[in-house]
Amino acid sequence: MAGSRTRGAAARGAKRATAKNNGARNKGTKNNGAKNNGALSSLRLKRPVRVAAKVKALQDDSQRRLGFVRNFLQLPIEADRLTLLQGYLDRLMRSDDATLPPQERELLALVVSVENRCDVCVMSHAVALQRHGLDKSLVDTLTINWRSAALTGRQRALAEFAWRLTARPTEADESYLDLLRRAGLREEQILEAAQIVAIYNANNRFNTVIGLRVNPEAHAAFRKA
């Protein structure tokens, strides 16, 4: 009888210990989740304590244009590298002396980003396309399947070019360029299109592999647009 009581007490003690351990684990999980809520990416890196002047200028520009500082610009990337990369992107996408109009540049970037499933870039370029005058319903279709979108012949050629170079890069040859030539693009415009598709493939892969988080403000703008 005494042995039964002892075994019963031991079992109850074991249950209490298990429940306590589970509670501690659950609490730890909740705490970790709370810590991750403010993370920029999946990398276990701290935000820079000091921000170089040239990076601060990029962050200020982002705040002025978008109303928030993009998470990409807060990553602890060496200042010269970050400014070179962002400077190249800005020259391609925001300069006034580009050979392609802003809408076509954003179309290329969006088709690439959708194919690569880069949520950060899909939201960003979808909002930018609407800002440049493309109809919301058309942009919505592009974020799912560009082939179903009611595109012009030239837009469709640009989308096809972006998709081919993204999905089938090993097959790339002059036939890819001929797609754009037949649509009426000049050689310098084709050169610019190739740069945009190439750099956003690199950007998408970088964002995806480090798990770059979407800014809450960017997500809200995407839903509202």
The pLDDT score that the predictor gives to residue 223 is 80
The pLDDT score that the predictor gives to residue 16 is 55
The pLDDT score that the predictor gives to residue 193 is 98
What stretches of the chain show up as alpha helix (H) in DSSP?
2-36, 53-66, 79-94, 102-115, 119-131, 136-142, 153-167, 174-182, 187-210, 216-224
The pLDDT score that the predictor gives to residue 103 is 97
Instruction: Give exposure, 125-141, as e/b (b: 16+ Cβ within 10 Å).
Output: bbbbbbeeebeeebbeb
Together in a domain, 30 and 117 = no
Together in a domain, 118 and 209 = yes
CA angle, residues 134, 116, 98, in degrees to nearest 5: 45
Together in a domain, 220 and 130 = yes
CA angle, residues 47, 64, 90, in degrees to nearest 5: 80
Residue 11 lies in a domain: yes
The enclosing H or E element of 212 equals none
Together in a domain, 112 and 203 = yes
Residue 43 lies in a domain: no
**Dist CA 145 CA 160 (whole Å):** 11
The pLDDT score that the predictor gives to residue 98 is 97
Together in a domain, 112 and 216 = yes
Together in a domain, 210 and 109 = yes
Together in a domain, 115 and 211 = yes
Number of domains in the chain: 2
Range of the domain at 128: 99-224
CB 196 within 8 A of CB 142: no
| Residues in the chain with pLDDT values less than 70 | 1-37, 225
Residue 45 lies in a domain: no
Together in a domain, 120 and 191 = yes
CB 150 within 8 A of CB 176: no
**Dist CA 151 CA 141 (whole Å):** 10
Residue 85 lies in a domain: no
The pLDDT score that the predictor gives to residue 68 is 95
The CATH number linked to 220 is: 1.20.1290.10
Residue 68 lies in a domain: no
Together in a domain, 3 and 109 = no
Q: What is the pLDDT of residues 176-211, one digit of tens each?
A: 999 999 999 999 999 999 999 999 999 999 999 999
Together in a domain, 3 and 114 = no
Residue 19 lies in a domain: yes
Residue 70 lies in a domain: no
The pLDDT score that the predictor gives to residue 12 is 53
The pLDDT score that the predictor gives to residue 217 is 93
Q: pTM to 2 decimals?
A: 0.82
